[in-house]
Amino acid sequence: MKYPMKTTYVIFFYFLLSVAVCLPYHIKIVETADWQAPNSLNSVASFETSKPYQFRLLIPVVFKLMSPLYSLNEKYFYTLFNIIIVTLLLFVYYCILVSHYFENTKYTVFAAAFLVYPMLWNYVILNQTFQYYDFAAVFLFTLGVYFIFKENFTGLVVVFIAGIVNKETAAYLIFAYIFYNYRKVLSSYVLLRIFLLVLMFISWKIILEILFSSNHGDSVEIGLYENIRIIKNILSDRVLIKNLLLNFGGLWLFGLLLFISGRWKKFRRRDLLFVNLVIVPYYIFGIFITYITEVRVYTELIPLITTLFLIFLSSYERTPLNIRRSG
């Protein structure tokens, strides 16, 4: 595909945006983080920390292998790593938009850049906690969606494996695959592939249980009771209300309006649209296995919410962002 701008210029632009996200994240979150805490890189790399933190192995193992390179300051090296990851994330997201959602113009380059807006809200402005796997998780999920759209199952499998080794929420790629193939979901080859993805996820969880059976802690962090308490007291807690309303910088509202207003009907490729409905099972399962007001946990939803916002924006006649006629 011929891009409207030189690829090197696009990547450099995304690199600058990545720095704009990762530097404030470093100052507020990384620099103040305790790297000896049970959920830190160093603790997980020791293979002796608490479950379920111990199960999120990808980044700690990578950093352990690369340890000779950051002997001076591991936090600065981590931020450099994040800058690279976010740059790649923006470029992959741009490739998704320009190949499947919108016409190939310079405006799509800037539309993809809008991804940094909800990232700044969820990782910097509203966030107070450090989790080393967050940026890698959103990148791997977005890359998985890219391979789903390209119908490259081998690529999806590689990314899926890397994703679940990083964090178990990469399993939501299974729902993305199901929703993309909603018309043929009962066909034998789609069912077989769904089964393979589920089998890989379950097998990896069993392997982790065996490897770290002696580690203390629960294998799954249950947030249901805390979430019930949060919902009961939501009106009396301004911080909780703020986090819910400003999640994704408020972009969730445009996704809601897209479906309520009926503007979603202007987008002909239902498979590309419905992939973004991974939001639904994410929230349903999230009630049980996460804390709904901790905004950084919605990592995988950032590109989905942003895409719904951009589709809503493109549904107006005078917008420079034009929906593709063919995906």
Q: Which two tokens stand for residue 119?
A: 């990232």
pLDDT confidence of residue 57: 95
pLDDT confidence of residue 262: 92
Distance CA 133, CA 140 (A): 10
pLDDT confidence of residue 301: 95
Tens digit of pLDDT for each residue in 242-253? 888 999 999 999
Range with the lowest mean pLDDT among 8-17, 68-77, 110-119, 199-208?
68-77
Give the pLDDT band (50/70/90) at residue 1. Answer: low
Distance CA 83, CA 85 (A): 5
DSSP string, 188-234: HHHHHHHHHHHHHHHHHHHHHHHHTTTS-S-SS---HHHHHHHHHTG
Whether residue 327 is predicted with pLDDT greater than 60 in this model: the reply is no
Whether residue 203 is predicted with pLDDT greater than 90 in this model: the reply is yes
Contacts of residue 198, defined as CB under 8 A and 6 or more positions apart, other chains included, come to 174
Of 327 and 179, the structure prediction assigns the larger pLDDT to 179
Q: What is the percentage of the chain residues whose pLDDT exceeds 70?
A: 97
Average of per-residue pLDDT values in the chain: 91
Mean pLDDT computed over 246-269 = 93
pLDDT confidence of residue 90: 98
Return the half-sphere exposure (C-beta side, CA atoms, 13 A cut-off) of residue 103. Answer: 10
Distance CA 307, CA 301 (A): 10
Mean pLDDT computed over 150-175 = 97
Tens digit of pLDDT for each residue in 89-115? 999 999 999 989 998 788 899 999 999
Tens digit of pLDDT for each residue in 283-325? 999 889 888 878 889 989 999 999 999 999 988 877 777 777 6
pLDDT confidence of residue 72: 64
pLDDT confidence of residue 217: 87
Q: Which two tokens stand for residue 158?
A: 């590689």
Of 175 and 3, the structure prediction assigns the larger pLDDT to 175
Q: What is the percentage of the chain residues whose pLDDT exceeds 90?
A: 69
Mean pLDDT computed over 197-205 = 97
pLDDT confidence of residue 30: 96
Give the pLDDT band (50/70/90) at residue 2. Answer: low
Distance CA 229, CA 206 (A): 32
pLDDT confidence of residue 104: 79
pTM: 0.94
Whether residue 254 is predicted with pLDDT greater than 90 in this model: the reply is yes
DSSP string, 139-161: HHHHHHHHHHHTT-HHHHHHHHH
